Structure 1
Amino acid sequence: MGVVKELRPVMPILVGVSVLLSLSMGIRQSFGLVMPPLTRDIAVGVSDFAFAMSLQNLAWGFFQPFAGALATRLGFRPVMMAGSVLYGLGLLLFATAQGVLGVLLGAGLLIGVALACTAAAIALSVGSQATSGASRSLVLGAITASGSLGALLSAPLGQLLITEAGWRAGVIGFLVLALGMLPAAWIAGRIDRLPHPAARPSALGADSAGEALRRALARPPFIVMTAAYFVCGMQLLFIATHLPSYLAICGMDPALGAQALAVIGLFNVVGGLFFGWAGGRWSKLGLLGGIYIGRSIVLAWYFALPPTPATTLIFAALMGFLWLGVGPLVAGSVADMFGLRWQAMIQGVAFMSHQIGSFVGALGGGVIFDRLGSYDLAWRLAVAIGLLAGLVQVTFALLRPVRPAPA
């Protein structure tokens, strides 16, 4: 009851940012459904589409620190509203694409920049600003969980429209859903009425973005977490981009890909809530390492066996539980290490590493498939690197525990 009473004044902000994150992530996670019909309809190959998804993640990652710094200087509402508009423009260009260029600019560049302004790093920074240390980890877990709900709506809707009217109709359906991001961003922007982050003292003792960044990059726990975050992005984008294609190659029903993405979205909710709760009780960095190890074991089990509908949905459930749980743990770790003032920017720097990994996972999977005609090498690399990253992260968390920064 105490937590509910504490959160009541900021509940509209938390609901608004949760809806924003849910739509921006849910739509983007459903793009893999478009790849098989798109590559048959226009002159775009699997590796071309994979490159567009890789470009999206690079644009998202490289613009994320700038979006975080702008949110600190200008406020969150202008950043989130601009990102929502760019998201809609990107989907419109994607839906009308006649070749590789339209897919690269729409689904790649514009959506990538829009995600930097509307997705996890900004949403979790808003949640951190709105809550205190006592309830912050749980709230961040709830916001992260909401980021999965959009896939429960967008994936089935997209698959239905694609099956009945073609891939362009599916993307138009995504565009209609994306219109809801504008009011959500406006309501979440009420966070700017609270004391502005720039007015708060910094646990880093830095008054400029450059100085804050230099001091953050001098902290070994942050460096290890950021490096392991690369592997997180590599694994997830390989799955999100190539799972529908892998199932089609294996002769599975095309609807199974949409079902698997929806199951991932459903279990993301469970995982986000669990790891948000767990991060308030145990080492956040240790839990991150455990997630990376767990994912690698699940990947090895699934891809070592011929896929069936049952094993695919079990795989989706397990992977979904381990999918977005990293969100509250990374955001909470950054707040613990460095405080709130520069959180959005520093978290954006860590997320840049994640997105470089996403680039490698999405593009690398496509290139390996085009060269070898199989995903075998891709999943084996994802398993090996994931196990290594998880073991290093757990070991470092035990050797160098992080104490929360003073409020």
Structure 2
Amino acid sequence: MSDTRFSKPLIYMLIGSALILALSLGVRHAFGLYLVPMSHEFGWGHNVFSLAIAMQNLVWGAVQPITGAFADKYGSKIVVAVGGALYSLGLLLMAFSSTGLLLNLSVGLILGLALSATSFPVLLSAVGRAAHPDKRSLAMGIASAAGSFGQFIMLPSTLLLLQNIGWSAALVVSSILIALIIPLAWMLKAPMYVAPHTSAHSNKASLSFKQILVIVKNHQPFWFLALGFFVCGFQVVFIGIHLPGYLIDHGFNATTGTIFLALVGLFNIVGTYSAGWLGGKYSKPHLLMWLYGLRGITIITFLLLPLSVWTVYAFGVIMGLLWLSTVPLTNGIVANMFGVKYLSMLSGLIFFTHQIGSFFGGWLGGVNHDMTGNYNAVWMFSIALSLLGVLVHFFVNEEAVIHD
């Protein structure tokens, strides 16, 4: 029986990945708290900030396959370090963005590029390459779960900064914290796992990027999986960006929305770890069907119940369990289908569809609110997408196209 324990270099990488994800996703998770104060100060409708966030997600997704290809070829360390520097720069520019153009440059373009290098596709792919195949899903789940703790910590911290020093100074502080990603990137140096019987001159190693893309292009289960990830992106960005504003519209203060997002981050730790553990024991496509179905049921229940702080917090707990549980399962399926040699690029490709969904979730939420004063249409669309998320995973399997 092969030894499937985590090696010391992999444990070191898991710690580094968790810290980087905690910073990167923690700061991003709090962006929704800036919508109201920035919009009020500059007299913007919700659509201005929403469009910048939507552009961020679109840029992030569009360049993710390219960033992933660089990480596959040159290693994750340099890509993550450059991403950390861009992230810090983008937050500084956001702190002085008084026009929609500057907001789109900082939040949309620069932070979109930075997130492509400092988020799940690059970091989980690095972890996946270093882990034994039997422990790959669990390792990805651990990195995702530990990274989620940053989302829990950064939200109340950001709210305190906003209340005490204002939104612009809060962004400067966040920029300084994000700069820590640059030295942390050098913890990402665990070697790729190679099975004892595997030849260094396998056929898989000789495949070019172009050949891999041709194989992917003709593999229908991959594109059904991508369509499911579109659903995920739409829902999490719509809720993450617009729920604080939705609550303010209904008479709640900013603290309620912050606690909601913090609960999402906290229970996301449990959800992503559990998804990674379950993904090593059960069918990942079947688990994804359950996740999307439960999301739809949760949204319907939230909208039907009388709105109170307790229903808001319960919604945060349940959505947190379902929030990014899709990520280790989806990336694990991609790894099982195509192996790990080009995992960053292929995870980036499928992540692009996630970010197209994120674009529409962020942007349409703002458009719906500015046109009608509410979010009703987008809530209904989110519920319909949950059904789509269940259906498409009927056509997804984990059959290996390219073997490790």
* 2:316 is equivalent to residue 316 of structure 1: yes
Structure 2 letter corresponding to 1:284:
K
1:133 aligns with 2:130: no
CA RMSD of aligned residues (A): 1.9
The residue matched to 1:191 in structure 2 has which SS?
coil
1:76: how far off?
A: 1.2
Q: Distance in 1 between matches of 2:3 and 2:262?
A: 31
Offset at residue 402 of structure 1 (A): 2.7
- Structure 2 Cα separation of the partners of residues 117 and 279 of structure 1: 25
Paired residues of 2:291 and 2:326 also in contact (CA < 8 A): yes
Secondary structure of the structure 1 residue equivalent to 2:247: helix
SS at match of 1:329: helix
Aligned-partner Cα distance in 2 for 1:200–1:51: 48
Q: Which residue of 1 aligns with 2:353?
A: 353
What residue number does 2:364 align with?
364
Shift of 1:193: 8.6
- Return the offset for 1:75: 1.5
| Cross-structure match for 1:64 | 64
Distance (whole Å) between structure 2 residues aligned to residue 202 and residue 76 of structure 1: 24
Cα distance, 1:252 vs structure 2:
0.7
Secondary structure in 1 aligned to 2:7?
helix
* Cross-structure match for 2:197: none
Q: Is the 8 A contact 2:45 2:370 kept in 1?
A: no
Q: Is the 8 A contact 2:337 2:398 kept in 1?
A: no
* Cα 1:404/1:212, change in 2 over 3 Å: closer
Amino acid at match of 2:219: R
**In structure 2, how many angstroms separate the alpha carbons of the residues matched to 1:303 and 1:296?**
11
Q: Aligned partners of 1:298 and 1:75: how far apart in 2?
A: 40
- 1:389 aligns with 389
1:215 is the counterpart of 2:215 = yes
Report SS of the residue matched to 1:252: coil
Q: What's the counterpart of residue 236 of structure 1? A: 236
Change beyond 3 A, Cα 1:206–1:96: same
Corresponding residue number in structure 2 for 1:106: 106
Of 388, 397, 402 in structure 1, the residue corresponding to residue 399 of structure 2 is 402
Distance 2:223 2:377 in 1: 28
One-letter amino acid matched to 2:190: I
- The Cα shift of 1:5 comes to 4.8
1:185 deviates by 1.2
* Structure 2 Cα separation of the partners of residues 401 and 181 of structure 1: 33
1:121 shift after superposition: 0.3
Q: Quote how far apart the aligned CAs of 1:231 are.
A: 0.8
Q: Deviations over 1:321-359 (max 9, x none)?
A: 001111110111011000011111111110000000000
- Within 5 A, what are the aligned runs for 1:67-78? 67-78=67-78
Q: Deviations over 1:359-386 (max 9, x none)?
A: 0100011111111111111101110122
Q: Quote the Cα distance in structure 2 between the aligned partners of 1:134 and 1:194.
A: 11
Q: For each residue in 1:64-108, what CA deviation from the matched residue of structure 2 results, as whole angstroms up to 9, or x when unmatched?
A: 000111112222111111100000000000011121122111122
Question: Are the aligned partners of 2:129 and 2:192 in contact in 1 as well (CA < 8 Å)?
Answer: no
CA contact (8 A) 1:202 1:340 kept: no
Tell me which moved more, 384-393 or 253-262.
Answer: 384-393
8 Å Cα contact 2:132-2:193 kept in structure 1: no
- Partner SS state of residue 14, structure 1: helix
Q: After the TM superposition, which of the residue ranges 240-249 and 304-313 deviates more from structure 2?
A: 304-313
Given that 1:337 and 1:405 are in contact with CA atoms closer than 8 Å, whether structure 2 keeps it comes out as: yes
TM-score of the pair, normalised by structure 1: 0.93
Q: List gaps (5 residues or longer) in structure 2.
A: 195-199
What residue in structure 2 maps to residue 11 of structure 1?
A: 11
**2:131–2:193 Cα contact (<8 Å) kept:** no
Counterpart-to-counterpart distance in 1, 2:309 and 2:248: 12
Offset of residue 282 of structure 1: 0.9
Write the deviation string for residues 197-232 of structure 1: whole angstroms up to 9, x where unpaired: xx77565x7622122112112112111101111111
Report the AA paired with residue 118 of structure 2. T
Residue pairs, 1:322-341, within 5 angstroms: 322-341=322-341
TM-score for both structures, normalised by structure 2: 0.94
Asked if the contact 2:338–2:400 (Cα under 8 Å) also holds between the matched residues in 1, the reply is: no
Shift of 1:194: 7.9
Distance 2:375 2:190 in 1: 45
User: Structure 1 CA distance, aligned partners of 2:348 and 2:311?
Assistant: 35
CA distance in 1, matches of 2:360, 2:128: 30
CA contact (8 A) 1:275 1:329 kept: yes
Tell me by how many angstroms 1:404 deviates.
Answer: 8.1
Any conservation in 2 of the 1:335–1:343 contact (CA below 8 Å)?
A: yes
Residue 373 of structure 1 corresponds to which residue in structure 2?
373
C-alpha distance in 2, partners of 1:106/1:391?
37
Identity of aligned residues (%): 36
Q: Shift of the alpha carbon at 1:152?
A: 1.8
In structure 2, do the counterparts of structure 1 residues 202 and 218 end up closer, same or farther at CA, with 3 Å as the change threshold?
farther
Q: Which amino acid aligns with 2:156?
A: P
Q: Secondary structure at the match of 2:340?
A: coil
Aligned residues: 398
Residues 7-406 of structure 1 mapped to structure 2, 5 A cutoff: 7-188=7-188, 190-191=189-190, 201=202, 203=204, 207-393=207-393, 395-397=394-396, 400=397, 402-403=399-400, 406=403
Q: Deviations over 1:111-131 (max 9, x none)?
A: 111111110000110111111
SS at 2:6 equivalent: helix
Q: 1-side partners of 2:296 and 2:201: how far apart?
A: 40
Q: What is the one-letter code of the residue matched to 1:91?
A: L
